[in-house]
């Protein structure tokens, strides 16, 4: 038994879970073409959820702050991007260059908004309640209520359609497998962000400080680094990623309502809990597992789809109470 777990550990340990999941699903589904479609859908959903969840996890790991208002950034990102795309509607039909520019502008607007909102949130809402979990939960909850109401006041309660650039519409058909282009785009973007974050955390000086801060905050302060500024930076980065994730999700759903943030928040929470708070790899792992499970179960047993995430979370918590790859001990 020990030997088996050793061998498993050498090949990646818990990182093998998505592969195992995919293999089991392959047997259960039986049809390779639908399996490929579902797997790609699951991976791209996982990547978008990863974008939303990574900020939450990082902020918790570094600052010991859990932001229940995180979903506000997701909704704001989605709505800002949708508004920009709607405003630049003419560009979308004006050839691939203009359409790409419009898309880039929309994503940049979402990111910029996320950065600004993160700065505001950190300094005004969260700064006064560091190290007080109860009040943190309450305050960020209050901020979430206010943000949701602002979204309702500005954009109204009716669903908004999100225009997509034409070059992201449609699907590639290889044999009898059809792959939606938008999903590939979402997957690529998510992967790029993941690689970027890994480089930032593991190869740069700032990343070193962040990791050191996660490990032992007092020590980093004692060495003379201004960890407060680092906090603000990480918080803004996290909010911007959430906004980007929201914007991507808006393009994926193409019809968004103000309830979007709340719906995604549950998924994000589950991902962060499964992955283990504070670690980027854990969050990615959790996001991919959740994305795959959601798609496979949605195909195999649609009735179970809603409860599947919950069951998944419970199972993993029983097995590993602090998540699959926790960074915080």
Partner 1 sequence: MKQTFGTLTVKTAMLVIFALLLFAPFLFQDIRALEVAARICIFIVLVASYDLLIGYTGIVSFAHTMFFGFGAYGSAIALKQMGPGWDAVALGTAAGVLVSLVVATAIGLVSLRVKAIFFAMITLAAASVVLVLASQLSQITGGEDGMTYRTPDLFKTATKLLVADDGKVVRWFGVKLNGKLAAYYFVFFTSLVLFLVMLRITVSPLGTVLKAIRENEARAEAIGYRVVAYRTFVFCLSAVVASLAGSIYALWLKYTGPDTALSFAIMIDILLMVVIGGMGTMWGAVIGAVLMVMAQYYLRDLMGAASEAVAGIPLLPELLAPDRWLFWLGIIFILLVYFFPKGIVGTLNTKGVRS
Q: Per rule CB under 8 A, is residue 219 in the interface with partner 1? A: no
**DSSP assignment string, 198-256:** HHHHHHSHHHHHHHHHHH-HHHHHHTT--HHHHHHHHHHHHHHHHHHHHHHHHHHHSEE
Tell me the per-residue interface mask from 240 to 279 with partner 1, x by CB under 8 A, - otherwise: ----------------------x---x--xx-xx------
Q: Per rule CB under 8 A, is residue 120 in the interface with partner 1? A: no
Q: Per rule CB under 8 A, is residue 143 in the interface with partner 1? A: yes
- Count of positions on this chain that bind partner 1 (CB under 8 A): 40
Tell me the per-residue interface mask from 55 to 84 with partner 1, x by CB under 8 A, - otherwise: -----x-----x-x----------------
Are the C-beta atoms of residues 278 and 216 closer than 8 Å to each other?
Answer: no
**Residue 37 CB, nearest distance to partner 1 (Å)?**
25
Contacts of 27 (CB under 8 A, 6+ apart): none
Q: Per rule CB under 8 A, is residue 138 in the interface with partner 1? A: yes
Q: Rule CB under 8 A: choose which of 135, 161, 172, 204 binds partner 1.
A: 135
Q: Is 157 exposed, middle or buried (0-12, 13-18, 19+ CB in 10 A)?
A: exposed
- Judged by beta carbon, residue 178 or residue 322, the one nearer partner 1 is 322
| Secondary structure letter of residue 35 according to DSSP | H
Angle at 237 between CA 233 and CA 238, to 5 degrees: 115
Q: Per rule CB under 8 A, is residue 141 in the interface with partner 1? A: yes
Distance (Å, whole) CA 76 – CA 80: 6
Q: Per rule CB under 8 A, is residue 304 in the interface with partner 1? A: no
Q: Per rule CB under 8 A, is residue 20 in the interface with partner 1? A: no
Measured in whole angstroms, how far is the alpha carbon of residue 61 from the centre of its chain? Answer: 16
| Biggest CA-to-CA distance, the chain | 63
**Residue 145 CB, nearest distance to partner 1 (Å)?**
4
Phi, psi of 177 (to 5 degrees): -100, 125
Distance (Å, whole) CA 43 – CA 130: 35
Q: Rule CB under 8 A: choose which of 146, 174, 195, 301 binds partner 1.
A: 146
**Residue 270 CB, nearest distance to partner 1 (Å)?**
6
- Judged by beta carbon, residue 23 or residue 124, the one nearer partner 1 is 124
| Site residues for partner 1 per CB under 8 A | 60, 66, 68, 125, 128-129, 133-139, 141-143, 145-146, 148-150, 152-154, 262, 266, 269-270, 272-273, 306-307, 309-310, 313-314, 317-318, 321-322
């Amino acid at each position: 038994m020990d030997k088996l777990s050793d061998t498993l550990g050498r090949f990646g340990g818990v990182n093998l879970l998505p592969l195992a999941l995919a293999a089991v699903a392959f047997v259960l589904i039986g049809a390779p073409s639908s399996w490929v479609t579902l797997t790609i859908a699951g991976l791209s959903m996982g990547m978008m959820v990863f974008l939303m969840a990574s900020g939450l996890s990082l902020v918790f790991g570094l600052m010991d702050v859990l932001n229940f208002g995180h979903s506000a950034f997701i909704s704001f990102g989605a709505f800002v991007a949708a508004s920009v795309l709607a405003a630049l509607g003419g560009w979308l039909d004006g050839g691939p260059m203009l359409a790409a520019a419009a898309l880039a502008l929309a994503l940049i607007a979402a990111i910029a908004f996320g950065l600004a909102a993160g700065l505001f949130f950190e300094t005004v809402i969260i700064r006064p309640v560091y190290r007080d979990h109860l009040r943190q939960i309450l305050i960020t909850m209050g901020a979430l209520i206010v943000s949701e109401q602002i979204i309702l006041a500005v954009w109204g309660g009716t669903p908004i359609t999100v225009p997509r650039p034409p070059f992201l519409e449609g699907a590639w058909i290889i044999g009898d497998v059809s792959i939606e282009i938008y999903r590939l785009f979402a997957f690529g973007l998510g992967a790029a962000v993941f690689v970027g974050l890994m480089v930032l955390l593991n190869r740069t000086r700032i990343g070193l400080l962040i990791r050191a801060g996660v490990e032992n905050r007092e020590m980093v302060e004692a060495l003379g680094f201004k960890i407060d500024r680092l906090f603000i930076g990480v918080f803004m980065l996290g909010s911007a990623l959430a906004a980007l994730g929201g914007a991507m999700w808006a393009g994926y759903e193409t019809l968004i309502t103000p309830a979007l943030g709340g719906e995604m928040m549950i998924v994000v929470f589950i991902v962060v809990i499964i992955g283990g708070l504070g670690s980027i790899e854990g969050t990615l792992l959790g996001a991919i597992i959740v994305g795959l499970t959601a798609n496979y179960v949605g195909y195999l047993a649609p009735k179970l789809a809603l409860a599947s995430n919950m069951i998944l979370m419970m199972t993993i918590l029983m097995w590993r109470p602090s998540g699959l790859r926790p960074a915080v001990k």
